[in-house]
Homo-oligomer: A and B are copies of this chain.
Amino acid sequence: MVEKTKAYIAGFLDGDGSIFLQLVRRKDYQLGYQIRASIVFFQKKKNDKILRWLKHKLRYGYLRNRKDGLSEYTIVGFRVVKGILNELEPYLLVKKYQAKLAIRIIDRIEKTPIVTTGFMLRIAKEVDKFGMLNNSKKRINDSKQLKKFFQSITFDPVSTEFLSIKKE
């Protein structure tokens, strides 16, 4: 992307978009939870042309029409979200710190050879911080919830036993 495109998209993301890192309950995952990275843009359905333009430029993600009359463009996945944030970060103003934090967390996840419960809990605490930056009202899945979940099942949350987890 050329500079003016990156600057425009950074401005649009600062004004109207969201960067999310979330802990998502997934019964099909070995550790019961997934860390989900996403970038989301909303517009009224009648303005969804801009979302199609963004998808054309950012190349990944999907558009959908929600029941409340909004159109939503969502990009999900560590590699793709990190790639986009790396491109936009120099131009971001409002969400610069969030973008840097997301990149750092994704880097840690990508670099770990094996995801243990201990690692997952450490990452979940970083994800909690992220949620606070986003002014999320209520985080149903936070690191405390994850810790309780780990305690309720067979393995010990503070151990570093080798438990692999499916990554996005």
> Hey, which bits of chain A sit against chain B, CB under 8 A?
3-17, 43-44, 47, 49-50, 53, 91, 93-94, 135
Residues of B within 8 A of A16 (CB): 14-16
List 15 other contacts, CB 8 Å, given A8-B10, A16-B16, A53-B93: A3-B3, A4-B6, A7-B7, A8-B14, A8-B91, A9-B11, A10-B11, A11-B11, A14-B15, A15-B15, A15-B16, A15-B17, A47-B94, A49-B94, A50-B94
Query: What's the nearest-Cβ distance from chain B to residue A49, in Å?
Result: 8
| Residues of the B chain whose Cβ atoms lie less than 8 Å from the Cβ of A12 | 11-12, 14-15
A11 & B15 in contact (Cβ 8 Å cutoff): yes
Contacts of A44 in B (CB 8 A): 135
Which DSSP category, helix, strand, loop or mixed, fits chain A's interface? helix
In the complex, 16 of the A-B residue pairs with CB atoms within 8 angstroms, ordered by the A residue number, are A4-B4, A4-B7, A5-B7, A7-B11, A8-B11, A8-B91, A8-B93, A9-B11, A11-B11, A11-B13, A11-B15, A14-B15, A15-B15, A15-B17, A43-B94, A50-B93
Could you say which residues of chain B place their CB within 8 Å of the CB of A17?
15
Which one of A3, A15, A94, A135 has the highest number of Cβ atoms from chain B below 10 Å of its Cβ? A15
CB distance from A19 to the nearest CB of B (A): 14
With both chains docked as a complex, state the minimum distance between the C-beta of A99 and any C-beta of chain B, in angstroms.
14
Q: How far is the CB of A36 from chain B (nearest CB, A)?
A: 23
Q: Which B residues touch A8, using CB under 8 A?
A: 7-8, 10-11, 14, 91, 93
Structural contact, B94 and A4, CB atoms closer than 8 A? no
